[in-house]
Chain A
């Protein structure tokens, strides 16, 4: 019990003193997940918008695929990426295994279905009405699509933030494909696993606190946009 208490005190000290090990891990996590989120958004938002504008009948199968991918356990995604990029795999020549790019690849695979799926649901609500209104006012296909994205921006923002919440807190996939190498592929979640096993609770608790704070911000943000629904 006392070790837990001491751990918490020490964790606060690490955070407040901006401990370099801790900072390095936090920034690496944010860099990897941030990059994955940008790529996932570039892929997921157009895909979700496109699907959301199609009649539901025509996209039933792909809907099921996306919803399944949204709920796929991260370790399974990690395993598949591992098989693809390991030395014997089809992408083995790229030498991606145990690099940050492997982790980004895994997180893109986790974030894209969520962003696409939630964007699709948001766009479907009134996307075709928006397209028709835009077209009746003289918009070409490009402007009409852009107008749909703008009109669905709250749902899309929610989709992106939900995607971020999923990948920043995920441990299974990044552990498998990143390898948890100190200073190179060690992120918050994998560091917590390791330090806990070693009995170094300070760092683990410190990182845990930071993850909790991040989760709090992500979720209060989501809560606010879902309640307000008119912000910006």
Chain B
């Protein structure tokens, strides 16, 4: 990302220069309203920045057209407010595969395997809008990874979940990263979660990337005073 600016009523995000590396797990932390969701939406090409450019594998993403859609299809996002379609669990998970024109047997194979992984096989024909919070979130993640994106963007995937579901989802994310080498960017305002699963942490405050570094370094020896204040829970905002 180069020279990114996003302005709504005021400037909400400014990223001068940032590179994400393949195969990594990034934790994005920061107070609410800092611009974390906006950051993910810009990476996912859902929101266009007012200026600046995004480069994927060194190539600039065009503003629209088929090439942009093709790039968008190599990543996937789970939103802060998850929306499952009013359809069966099965059809939800199959959505991205159908959008990409996978054939029936391949869709069947992948959906079955994923539902197994997230422990939802028995509920595959249930309406997705009748699931509990934890079940819904597991389905949302299964849906987002069914087509094996190269980059998975998660916006507070475990907010409002019970510890058991939190652990399941964290394990899933780590496993997806290690077994399918999916790059993960996970936004969380739970700094302990960032500590547990991220290998690198990006700290955003008031639309600025204050600091980015190895997880251990950010938590034990932050370079910025602001970062130290935030990870030690002393930040006033």
Contacts and interface: CB of A to CB of B under 8 A. Distances in A.
B99 A130 contact: no
Interface stretch (A8-16, A50-58, A62-70, A135-143): A135-143
Interface stretch (B71-79, B111-119, B188-196, B211-219): B71-79
Interface in B59-116: 69, 72-73, 76-77, 79, 81, 83, 85-87, 95-96, 99-100
A215 B87 CA distance: 31
A147 interface: yes
Given A137-B76, A138-B73, A143 B85 contact: no
B79 to A, nearest CB: 7
Contacts of B44: 136
Contact of A150 (B46, B76, B85, B99): B85
Contacts of A132: 46, 79
Contact of B46 (A136, A147, A230): A136
Interface in A84-130: 126, 129-130
A150 B87 CA distance: 9
Nearest to A135: B46
Given A143-B99, A151-B86, A129 B81 contact: yes
A138 B99 contact: yes
Contacts of A133: 79, 83, 85
Interface string B118-141: 000000000101100000000000
A33 B188 CA distance: 55
Given A143-B99, A230-B127, A230-B129, A136 B86 contact: no
A136 B79 contact: yes
Nearest to B45: A135
Interface residues of A, number: 18
Interface in A21-76: none
B82 to A, nearest CB: 8
Nearest to B81: A129
Interface string A128-171: 01101111111110010001001101000000000000000000
A138 B85 contact: no
Given A126-B83, A132-B46, A133-B83, A138 B127 contact: no
Contacts of B144: 136-137
A137 B95 contact: yes
A140 B69 contact: yes
A134 to B, nearest CB: 8
Nearest to B40: A136
B224 to A, nearest CB: 32
B81 A139 contact: no
Nearest to A136: B77
B83 A130 contact: yes
Contacts of A137: 76, 95-96, 99, 143-144, 147
Contact of A135 (B72, B86, B100, B143): B72
A140 B85 contact: no
Interface of B: 44, 46, 69, 72-73, 76-77, 79, 81, 83, 85-87, 95-96, 99-100, 127, 129-130, 143-144, 147
Given A135-B72, A138-B76, A150-B85, 5 more contacts: A132-B79, A134-B95, A137-B144, A138-B99, A139-B95
20 contacts: A126-B83, A130-B83, A132-B46, A134-B95, A135-B46, A136-B79, A137-B99, A137-B147, A138-B69, A138-B76, A138-B96, A138-B99, A139-B95, A139-B99, A140-B69, A140-B99, A150-B85, A230-B86, A230-B129, A230-B130
